[in-house]
Chain A
């Protein structure tokens, strides 16, 4: 059982581009990435896209499908309306390179700005640590992140306001939260979160959470606790007063 379906794929580069229509056969169980591969093999050999694992584990094949940021490998064609073409566009928050491939290097640079992991001295003589599963579980949610950058794509601070140089974005805040809440880490990232990382730009619209393919509760579990730390440190009236008189 197979049938034809129409796809409208954005083709272009940094200068210009347009949606181009393709038609290909689809079979039960196919995902959007399969259709892109089929079109590549049949009629558009130079159609550019990134992919690797094909199982939602590497976060390479991010795109905007029917206007929504998603992984192409985890979007089944049967879940998309059949009465209109499937529209596939690159992530719009990043500079285009070619077709579905965009320049995501800003995410790597932003992440690199976060102060690295810095553990407390080992707990045991053999150089190892003791941690409870409950403490590990809390951070594991953040460490599930596959760096697909869909949250960065949907974030209006980056997408509409283009404040890439002032706001690191949800992915990087999740990374910072994972370090801040790591049971062994003892670095303090509060002041740079407020200043260089631009934590205050996030006005918790939760768009990032809604597109995360790993289901990470980005806003509630990562960003808001970080904001609370910043508030505790910088906006607590008693601490502000103590700072004023030079105690803190």
Chain B
């Protein structure tokens, strides 16, 4: 389980998280929605310790991320797969090595690494791409390799940062299916950051709406779909939020 307790985070004079509190239950997909620049990706980076809160605590499986020593943080990261917005593949490495890098760090035998790489690429339907380099892949393929890199670690948690941003509708639907399949086959707890409403409804069990540094609304997909909150309704329906400060 991942818990945020009254987390505050600022960058200079700009407050991004302002008393952010949220519990992400195990075994489900929680979607974090909100306007652009609302702090969704910042929230995600707190879970793996890429950012530290100015105040408050982030707990993963009961351990406070900010209080972990180096080894503890490395062990925590080994349990989490992170899918970056623009994939963040290592340019100088082939697809195989991109996937194998984290597995080598876990000191798995070479046969096991090969098996896991092949299995992960099969899951994202990119078998046979092992020798290609990121520069040779389309945007959608890069994102799929990014997902494959995350799931190759067989993680307990998978964090997706804007997985469908910049993709055409068909590829977006394929990515949604991929996230659902990854959860089905791995049973991992997923956190998806997105402002793509259709995608959120397709992959989420629960949705939390982040606004002005804190959770404005959290509930099941059905609850959020039926909400009367004018700001969230405006977001879902894709129309201007009259009278609300975005």
Q: Do A and B interact with each other, yes or no?
A: no
Residues of chain A at the chain B interface (Cβ within 8 Å): none
